[in-house]
Structures are given as structure tokens and as C-alpha cells.
Amino acid sequence: MVFSSAIFLWLFLPVVFVVNLFLNNRVSNLFLLAASLFFYAWGEPLLVLVMILSIVVNWAAARGIFLHPKKKKLFLIIGIVVNLGILGYYKYAGFLVSILNRAAGRELFPVPQIALPIGISFFTFQALSFVIDVYRGEEKTCPKLVNTALYISFFPQLIAGPIVKYRDISRQIAKRKITSDKVAIGFRRFIYGLGKKVLIANVLGACADKLFGLDVTGIPGSLAWIASLLYTFQIYYDFSGYSDMAIGLGKMFGFTILENFDHPYMSGSIQEFWRRWHISLGSWFREYLYIPLGGNRKGKVRTYVNLFIVFFLTGLWHGANVSFIVWGLYHGILSIIERLGFAKFLDRHRLFGWIYTFLAANFGWVIFRMEWLRGSAIFIKRMLLPWMYTGYSVPLGRFIDSKTVVVLILAAAGCGIFQAIVPAKLRKAWKSSVPEALFLVAVLVLCLASVASNTYNPFIYFQF
């Protein structure tokens, strides 16, 4: 079930929201847990058992850590091994077998066809956060099974984040209050996110899919640029829109979920880009991997090695595909180059830094989007040398219409340019005003009409 589907908007959300208003905190936890498991089982009727297994194992490991402090390291190791084992089996087993077969030059083992549980990378990282936070003594009370289960399975951010650390929400699970202000803020945020997804990302994505579906050896440089820009804005509005909806839904149920995006395309360096893009993932890797590896405390060489490891795993986290790994290493190499001194130049030349960062991210998304590296290389070559690849027998109008052009322009402006130009006073006056309320009603109506009439409604990050 996706947030921008008719079943969620017309039935699931209204029923769950209204019923939850009449429940006390303890019963609410049980109800939201049941609703979250139903939400997941709607699309994964059998694989929901994988998440239930994860919940039980992590809760048992956390209790072992809390009740048997002398053996807490053993329980931590058990929790980490089980979590990574589940993730590795479902997400990477086929990939590893393919690599072994390719290295041997023959089929040593048949490649297993394993159905991937939706959002497994997200809920596994949350489960790891839970066990590690308990091990570190972040929690002073023994975790309850219902609270643990709700933390790992809470439907607003279950499928595609943000990744929530246990310590940031455990007290809210134990005790929270739903207020009219929170509900109003939540609805407002949810509608903005829904608009991002349905009215912008879906429009751009439908066109981007057509262009990326062309034979890459025949695509001209101009179409390659258009395709890359469409996907660059599609993935931002798709993922940030989902995060907005998740944060808004959290508010509606009394939870405060931390931000996941901060206008990343306005960054002046790749390092800054990763402080603004998928903030919860970057924060997770920094706290649970980069710092334990030594961070930047053990000399420059060790710092660069740590960054290389983190970005390698960031790419691998996104999927069992060499393209994702190369995409992660590409960002890691750029980050290391900036640390070697390039960042100082970028700080002195902010306009150049912004252009460089946007283009670097744009080229990175081509690697991310293409399913094979050679195709990415051909695609990027045509972008860098457009004068060598001109002419195409099919007119551009077949792929991009005036509506898509307008949406693309609005998407570019809404990534931070509009927010930077409009004075803070006007933005503050707009917030919670009557004009904004009317605007939100119009956005909601347009979204509902689009959902009812359009079958194109993917969520990019569901596959991770």
C-alpha cells in the first residue's frame, strides 16, 4: 500500500486516524501496531513474517542486553548478526551468487530467486539502531515487546523512511499527546508531500522513464540532458515528498519525526549535499559506522579509508547492483577530493560550488538510474560531448509535452531557489493563512483526481 493510492487516502488513513483519536496511549500503541502490520501485509502478505521475526529477535536481544549486563556484548552480536543475516539473504544472496559464477566463468550455483521484502533496508537499520542504543545504555527501562514492534513497524516511515533512531522516538511511543496543532501541522505537511509526489514526481517520472527506455547508443546529447534533469528532480520530489508525508502522518498520530531533506540541490559541495540529502541515512552511517571506525580522529589516511567504506556501503545499501556501488564510491571519491583541499576553493566561490555540486549530483543520478555501467558511461559521454551526438528521427514532443516542461521549471524553482528569493516575512505570513489553506485544498483535490485517473504511481525508494 502506498500513500498516494486510493485505498490509503480514502479508506486506510481516515479509519486509522479517526479510531486512534479515541484511544488512550497504551491501546493506541496496540492499534497502531495492528494497523502497521496490516499496512505492510497489504502488499507483502507472507513477507510480513520476516519483519515480525526481526521484531521478536531484536526485542529478545535488547532484553538480554538489559537484563544480563555481563553478557550484553554477546546479545548485541546476536542482534547484529541476525539483522545483517536477514538483510543479506533477502537482498544480496542472488547478487553474491552471480558474482561467484561470473568469477568462475561458469554456473557454480543456481542464482536464487528471492522475493525482496519492501523496505527491508529501512526497517533493518531501525532494528540495528534499537539494539545498539539499548547496548549503549541510551534506554533506562527494559524494552516492551509492543513498543519495540511499533518502533520497527510504524507505517508512516516503515517503507521508505526517514530512518528513525530508537532514542529519538522511544519516549514518544511510551507517552505522547495528540493536539489540534499537531494534527493541523501534520495534515499540512502530508498534503505538501502528496503534491510533491503526485503532481511533480509522477509527471517527471513518466517522461524520464520513456527517455531512459530508449536505446542508449542512439540517444542524442540533448535528450540525454533532458532525461538526466527529469530524473534528478523526480527522485528528489519522489523521496522528499514521501518523507514529508511520513513526517506529517507522524504528527497526526502524536509523533515528531526528524527532517530528512534540507534543499540538497542548493548545496555548495558534495559534503554539504550529503548533510542535506537523506539526512537520516547519513546520520545513521555517521553514528553507527563512521565514528566507531575512528571517524577523522586517526589521521588523514584513516579518515579517507573510513569515508571510502561508508560510501561503498551507502551504495550497497541502496541495492544489490554494481551501479549502486559505483554511485556510492563516486560520491565518496568526490568527498575525499573536497577534503584534500578542493572544499576551500568551493567555499570561496559559492556560485561555482553550487553549479559543480548540482552537476556532480546529476551525473551521479545517471549512474544510479541506469541498470548497467557501460550504459551509464555512454549516456554521460553523450551529455559531455553533445555536439558529437545530434539529430534524432523521433520528435522531442513525443517524449515531453508542455505540461512536463512547466512542471520541470516549477520543480527546479521549488528545490530552494524560490525559498531563497521570497522574503522570510512573506513565507511566515503565508504559513497557516487562509490563502495557504485554499491552496492546500486545491492541491489535495488535484492529487485525488490524479490518483483516480492515473496508473503511473511508483515510489523509487520502495525497492530499497
> Dihedral, CA atoms, 171, 172, 175, 177, nearest 10 degrees?
150
pLDDT, residue 394, reads: 64
How many Å apart are CA 318 and CA 271, to the nearest integer?
A: 19
Q: Which residues contact 375 (CB under 8 A, 6 or more apart)?
A: 216
pLDDT, residue 141, reads: 80
Q: What is the pLDDT of residues 127-144, one digit of tens each?
A: 999 999 999 988 878 889
Q: Helices in 44-157 by DSSP H: which ranges?
A: 48-67, 72-87, 93-104, 120-135, 145-153
CA quadruple 319, 333, 201, 18: dihedral sign:
positive
pLDDT, residue 462, reads: 65
Which residue's entry shows cell 553523450? 382
How many Å apart are CA 242 and CA 87, to the nearest integer?
A: 23
Find out whether 458 and 241 touch, Cβ atoms under 8 Å.
Answer: no
Q: What is the pLDDT of residues 279-329, one digit of tens each?
A: 999 999 999 999 999 988 888 899 999 999 999 999 999 988 899 999 999
How far, in Å, are 6, 21, 46, 117, 153 from residue 10 at the CA level? 6, 18, 25, 25, 22
Domain boundaries, the chain: 24-176, 182-459
* Helix, strand, coil percentages, rounded to 5, for the chain: 75, 0, 25
Q: What is the pTM of this model?
A: 0.93
How many Å apart are CA 332 and CA 336, to the nearest integer?
A: 6
The residues assigned a catalytic role are 318
**At what angle are helices 120-135 and 145-153 packed, to 10 degrees?**
140
pLDDT, residue 84, reads: 95
pLDDT, residue 392, reads: 67
In tens digits, the chain (464 residues) has pLDDT values of 788 888 999 999 999 999 999 999 889 999 999 999 999 998 778 889 999 999 999 999 999 998 898 999 999 999 999 999 999 999 999 888 888 888 888 877 888 888 888 889 999 999 999 999 999 988 878 889 999 999 999 999 888 879 999 988 989 998 999 999 999 999 999 999 999 999 999 999 999 999 998 888 888 888 899 999 999 999 999 999 999 999 999 999 999 999 999 999 999 999 999 999 999 999 999 999 999 999 888 888 999 999 999 999 999 999 888 999 999 999 999 999 999 999 999 999 999 999 999 999 999 999 999 988 899 999 999 999 887 877 666 667 777 888 999 999 999 999 988 888 888 888 888 888 899 999 999 999 999 998 888 776 676 766 66
